[in-house]
Chain A
Amino acid sequence: MLSSARVRELNATAEQIRETIVQMLVAAGSGHTAGPLGMADVFTALYFEVLTHDPKKPEWPERDWLILSNGHIVPVRYAAMAHAGYFPVAECLTLRQFGSRLQGHPERELLPGLETTSGPLGEGLGQAAGIAYGLRMDGKPNRVYCIMGDGEQNEGSVWESVMWAGKEKLNNLVVIVDRNNIQIDGMTEQVMPLEPFADKYRAFNWNVLEVDGHNIPQFVAACEESKQSLRPTLIIAHTIPGKGVKEIEGDYRWHGKPPSKDEAKRFLEELRTLGGKISSEHQ
């Protein structure tokens, strides 16, 4: 159980990460807004509570592996990594620029700690499963976490990987699906219905947990619970796309575009004042 002081601390970190996301997107002038904001709490929980890792030693053999399959939400990973100490937060503002290590979609060759290159959907789970298989072969205790989108579940090769991980009972593998109900062309249940989503994974011999993706203690507890499973675990993280900025929350049109300068000013104001609940030092 996390202490209430620790939870407050983590929530504050998540807000800082959200601010960084908005700043980097407006600087980049392109990119995805809704997904990164929606996953800020999950990434905070992972980098600041769940993962065994060392920002100064990204290749540390004892680390847990975090595979980001839906690479388009990488701004939240960059922001979380920067705040965790992998690289200076200021470097976040180079996102998507020529010569930057922070590519529009993540490239492992360029930035230590990314683990994989991703963006094309449906390819992260199999890679995570391959890593988990290798670790288990060698009797290593490291855990592998893989983040996927809900729209990504449309990809056929996801299900090849789900089937195989279930067959191999890779219980050192935890998949977190960002269940935010949006994809580029609209709501997931209209574009390509997923429900009953949890049942699908259960049918493939997975352990399935569901959490509120904005409730950090609940998410951390689910990660802890996954360690008892004899099968791979899916954590369905119910999130609100654009979380933290009321005017875009839940709006699929914000999947793939960045805020303008004026919008960013409003968004940052809202994030910094917790929706008007506190006064901002920048006011």
Chain B
Amino acid sequence: MLIETLSEKIFDTPEMAATRDGFGKGSVEAGKADERVMVLTADLAESTRAEWFQKEFPNRFIEMGVAEQNMAVVASGLANYGKIPYTTSYAAFNPGRNWEHIRTTIALTKLPVIVCGMHAGLQTGADGATHQMLEDIALMRALPNVTVLSPCDAEEAKKATAAAARVGGPVYIRFGREKTPVMTTSTTPFEIGTGIELWRGVAPQVALVSTGVLAYQTLLAAKQLETQGISVVVANIHTIKPIDETLLEKLARECGAVVTVEEHQMTGGLGSAVAETLSRKYPVPQEYIAVQNRFGQSGKASELFAEYGLTSERIVEATARAISRKTI
């Protein structure tokens, strides 16, 4: 069943909001809490929701034009001087286009710049493959010194955005375009580096470990599995790096099998991070719900999730496969 801060109502009439809206609110919150906070955008003030901060703090907002590489290095300079800048663009360009600038002038340099990649994943929809970033977690997770966040809904995105300013080092946060169900509430715990269980069945047989908005599909799968008499745990890993090794090991020992769920290439994403952890700590069979070495294409988010296998039905099937691979 759902943990106590989540309401059953999310299965019937969920409130819908995009995680990028969570950025808009969280950046204003961060700006109020700390006057060093700034927001930069690369000609995408409206769609990244950077304009929500701009309206509140016009003097701490910078329009960079369509120049993501310069945005990264200017943010590095601002942070070096003493500011806490958030850079905003689509994930395909920030960190896709400007990755080496981030690597050298932010990650290696350990400066508190918060790189915000919007319109990540297949949910970007009609824009097609060029704009559907599916490799951003891999790119940013590979960099030392960087905290990587991938919130599951608008509420968590707001918390992640506000918390990022307090990290004191480089952070990457991934956001999506589409309105998706808001599952968590103001009282749901959020602490960077600590995964949270969203659902727990009695004597669970499989741990479903998700990141980002597919947490909702994972909860739907858990509910469906419950009707089939299969008990699972659903854990939301909003912090991909540093990953919550304690929770993952605990779940692997308890359940004996894992299914990872993400809107990202299988290579280098959450599934890889989980495998890297469990192969050292407590190896168990693992199934992957992820994009399988393909680029995206135009379509509605729901059509694309179906085409690429990112649905509750596929999660249910993967759970059955994971159980069948268990040795005990």
- Which residues of A are at the interface with B, using a C-beta cutoff of 8 A? 107-109, 115-120, 122-135, 137, 156-157, 160-161, 163-164, 167
Contact = CB atoms under 8 A, between A and B. Distances in A.
B96 to A, nearest CB: 14
Q: Which 8 A-B pairs have the closest CB atoms?
A: A130-B77, A126-B73, A160-B70, A134-B81, A130-B74, A127-B77, A160-B67, A157-B69
Main SS at interface, chain B: helix
Contacts of B194: none
Interface stretch (B97-105, B153-161, B292-300): B97-105
A163 B65 contact: yes
Contacts of B81: 130-131, 134-135
A128 B64 CA distance: 15
B64 A164 contact: yes
Given A160-B67, A161-B73, A164-B70, A117 B109 contact: yes
A115 B105 CA distance: 11
Contact of B80 (A107, A131, A156, A163): A131
A126 B59 CA distance: 19
Interface string B270-282: 0000000000000
A123 B105 contact: yes
A120 B76 CA distance: 14
Given A123-B105, A164-B65, 20 more contacts: A116-B105, A117-B108, A119-B104, A120-B100, A120-B104, A124-B73, A125-B73, A127-B105, A129-B77, A130-B79, A130-B80, A133-B74, A133-B78, A134-B78, A134-B81, A157-B70, A160-B67, A161-B73, A164-B67, A167-B65
A22 B70 CA distance: 35
B78 A157 contact: no
A109 B70 contact: no
B82 interface: yes
Interface in B36-84: 59-60, 62, 64-65, 67, 69-70, 72-83
27 contacts: A116-B105, A117-B109, A118-B104, A120-B104, A123-B76, A123-B105, A124-B73, A126-B72, A126-B76, A127-B74, A127-B76, A127-B105, A129-B74, A129-B77, A130-B77, A130-B80, A131-B80, A132-B77, A134-B78, A157-B73, A157-B101, A160-B65, A160-B69, A161-B74, A164-B67, A164-B70, A164-B74
B173 to A, nearest CB: 20
Contacts of A161: 70, 73-74
Contacts of B75: 130
A255 B297 CA distance: 47
